[in-house]
Amino acid sequence: MKKLNILAIVMLSLGLILAFVPKEAMKSEKVSQKQIISELKEKSYFITADALAAMLVEKDPTVKLVDVRDAFEFQKFSLPNATNLTLENIVSDEWSEFMNQDKYSIVLYSNGNVEAVEAWMLCRMKGYENILVLQGGLNNWYETILNPQKPAATMADEELAKYEFRKAAGSSLGGGVSGDSTSAAPANVAAPATSAPKPAAGGAKKKKGASGGCG
Give 88-140 pLDDT, tens digit per residue.
Answer: 888 888 998 999 988 999 999 999 999 999 999 999 988 898 999 999 999 99
Task: Give the pLDDT confidence of 15-36 residue by residue, as tens digits.
Answer: 555 555 555 554 556 777 788 8
Residue 188 lies inside a defined structural domain of this protein:
yes
Rg over alpha carbons for the chain, rounded to the nearest Å, is 18
Provide the CATH number for the domain around residue 163: 3.40.250.10
Residue 173 lies inside a defined structural domain of this protein:
yes
β strands within the chain, DSSP E: 46-47, 63-67, 83-84, 105-109, 131-134
What Å distances lie between residue 156 and 26, 151, 159, CA to CA? 50, 9, 5
Number of domains into which the chain is organized: 1
Q: What is the pLDDT of residue 67?
A: 96
Give the range among 34-48, 56-70, 150-164 with minimum mean pLDDT: 150-164
- The rounded distance, in Å, linking the Cα atoms of 121 and 117 is 6
Residue 75 lies inside a defined structural domain of this protein:
yes
* Contact residues for 69 (Cβ-Cβ < 8 A; gap 6+): 84, 110, 111, 115
User: Which helix (H) or strand (E) element contains residue 133?
Assistant: strand 131-134
User: Which helix (H) or strand (E) element contains residue 10?
Assistant: helix 2-19
Residue 152 lies inside a defined structural domain of this protein:
yes
Provide the residue type at 148 as one letter. Answer: P
Q: Comparing 62 with 199, which gets the higher pLDDT?
A: 62
Task: Give the pLDDT confidence of 172-215 residue by residue, as tens digits.
Answer: 887 433 333 333 333 333 333 434 434 433 333 444 333 333 33
Residue 15 lies inside a defined structural domain of this protein:
no
Residue 24 lies inside a defined structural domain of this protein:
no
Residue 11 lies inside a defined structural domain of this protein:
no
CA atoms within 13 A on the CB side of 69: 21
CA end-to-end span of the chain, whole Å?
23
Residue 167 lies inside a defined structural domain of this protein:
yes
Provide the residue type at 38 as one letter. Answer: S
**The domain containing residue 193 runs over which residues?**
31-198
